[in-house]
Copies of this chain bind each other. A is one copy, B any other.
């Protein structure tokens, strides 16, 4: 008796015997091999491409003959003529098994294909999006058996895809009849399934839809709204874009927006309208940039701080402005674009908002936790998402703590005399010679240092306009290391510091970084007030971290992760000189880039990750800085800048400073515009 042919799939190693004539796709499904298909085996979607391997496979004990699969058929030829297949590829739904065979499923044919993130901490995102496409052939209506078109679509999904039940987004229902007829009863539907309820039909196209479907991962910051447009099939980011949050006109920081809402009846509604309009504009902009129809954007994931969270959802944030800082809801939210009042994308588009951790620790911190996974860390990690508020996570496998710390906007260049936001012309890096006390610097938009040839020419267009957040941190740290500033933060006079760059200003002194007044340009200095502002901000940040360390009963951490697009631009050395972060070996300070944005992307691409972060968030221990007396104590103690006496051991470590050039400004995802998070 002859045995049925043996089929071995790689890379999974799954194997089984099937009667000769069984299509490869059928065998793959029965074995649970991860082989994609949208058209359900009709030879039109080409998602099920496989590569048969021929020859001897001694480790499997198999010899694969040239005729192990059926011959190239008409359907494959038609596809080859029309689109072309890579050499050696076959369509898994057409090729049938004839003899023992080893079949490789290439990465792009896997349903749960993995997307490699570009970040240093390169983990992969496994594609498991909530929304998938299904091609079906629907029965025509029959007067003798009257059923609705929708009910026949449901019947086809059951028969052809084994989906027992669906629900339908109401705004999609009215569009189905013409689509069915245009496609001659062949139709591709997008089903969204994010939980245990029945999949929801949220979009449809006549025939086989080959235009892809997309999702937006949006990091909604106080200052900037940044979006990554992601292909929901491949996980590829096809465009990134950011715009200013128009709520800035109601208040620069979060608390001033909460105040605006308190003082102006209906003020929260104004701010909600403004941010939703901005999101609509951003969606149109990014779709245009990517050359896709906004109608193909079927999902959007939001991460944001609690105030932005409430204002996005149309909830008055007033309770977040006063103790006990009660969130209206802390759980994740799933809703539709219609419910959120968005009009640029389909009304049926599904919105997922990550859960908040506490009244001051938002969905953005949850996204950082999803991206950086402190709860899976073997060593104790301190993760700081630096912005107007810093979100701080401390933890390892044994548990995670979280708090937020009111650093204020100084780290973003606000409240700094020559401060400005990170934009071309802003000083972003500074070095001060400890001997001569002379500075050299770099500005955004130019890779040269100011003492290098061609700098003047290269910066002629942008000018040198001010200092951004990373620049001011470096400036203060360098001033301390050069002995221009004492441990208490006081700038010495020209006599004390031995440099003419120390100039009197009021009752104190300033340090001149760049003087273009002769040409009618700006005088860029670091004033005593600037130092104080940075001291306050860094003390708050440090105090928050210390508070978590107290709770955890540790005096040091194993590693520090600086997150946030801004975090990506902070020099770890200078941060540590300044005392922003607890001391750790310099090579234990890493940048996670825009970890919140990455968390949003993970939640967009992988529905299980949503359940994961919802679970994790519930387990995080929340620490409220506003009511911890120890916070105040740490804050005061952290005011000094102690490091100057011996910075050299650190300097001698010869670490490479983070790349702060303009082009990588968007964080780890290659964002096309420089942006900052609030």
- List residues of A whose CB falls within 8 A of some B CB: 140-151, 168, 170-171, 173-174, 176-178, 197, 313-316, 318-319, 323-331, 333, 335, 338-339, 356-359, 622, 624, 626-627
Contacts and interface: CB of A to CB of B under 8 A. Distances in A.
Given A141-B324, A143-B624, A331 B150 contact: yes
A143 B147 CA distance: 55
A317 to B, nearest CB: 10
A236 B304 CA distance: 47
Nearest to A180: B326
Contact of A328 (B150, B314, B339, B357): B150
A324 B143 contact: yes
A177 B319 contact: yes
A602 to B, nearest CB: 23
A152 to B, nearest CB: 9
A177 to B, nearest CB: 5
B330 A147 contact: yes
A109 B633 CA distance: 60
19 contacts: A141-B326, A143-B324, A143-B624, A143-B626, A143-B627, A146-B357, A146-B622, A147-B327, A148-B326, A149-B328, A149-B329, A150-B330, A168-B329, A170-B313, A170-B335, A171-B339, A173-B313, A174-B315, A174-B316
Contacts of A356: 148
Nearest to A140: B324
Contacts of A622: 145-146
Copies of this chain per assembly: 2
A149 B326 contact: yes
A140 B149 CA distance: 50
Given A148-B356, A356-B148, A173 B328 contact: yes
A147 B327 CA distance: 7
B313 A174 contact: yes
Contacts of A326: 141, 146, 148-149, 177
A260 to B, nearest CB: 17
A177 B624 CA distance: 21
A339 B170 contact: yes
Given A144-B627, A147-B330, A150-B330, 6 more contacts: A146-B327, A146-B622, A149-B328, A171-B339, A173-B313, A197-B197
Contact of A327 (B148, B338, B627): B148
Nearest to A147: B330
B149 A314 contact: no
CB-CB nearest 8 A-B residue pairs: A146-B358, A148-B330, A141-B326, A150-B329, A148-B329, A148-B327, A174-B315, A141-B324
A357 B356 CA distance: 46
Contact of A331 (B143, B151, B197, B316): B151
Contacts of A145: 622
A143 B173 contact: no
Contact of A173 (B140, B178, B325, B329): B329
A316 B179 CA distance: 13
Given A143-B323, A146-B358, A146-B359, A328 B177 contact: yes
Contacts of A174: 313-316, 328
Contacts of A146: 324-327, 330, 357-359, 622, 624
Contacts of A338: 338-339
Contacts of A339: 170-171, 338
Contacts of A328: 148-150, 173-174, 176-177
Contacts of A314: 174
A325 B624 contact: no
Contacts of A318: 177
| Residue of A146, A150, A325, A624 with most partner-chain B CB within 10 A | A146
A331 B624 CA distance: 51
A331 B324 CA distance: 47
A576 B28 CA distance: 68
Nearest to A626: B143
A359 to B, nearest CB: 6
A315 B177 contact: yes
A159 to B, nearest CB: 18
A658 to B, nearest CB: 34
Contacts of A359: 141, 143, 146
Nearest to A171: B339
A150 B314 CA distance: 15
A148 B159 CA distance: 43
Contacts of A358: 146
A537 to B, nearest CB: 23
Nearest to A624: B143
Contacts of A313: 170, 173-174
A148 B624 contact: no
Contacts of A330: 146-148, 150-151
Given A319-B177, A339-B170, A339-B338, A327 B149 contact: yes
Contacts of A144: 624, 627
Nearest to A197: B197
A314 B358 CA distance: 41
A177 B316 contact: yes
A147 B624 CA distance: 12
Contacts of A168: 329
A366 to B, nearest CB: 13
A359 B335 CA distance: 32
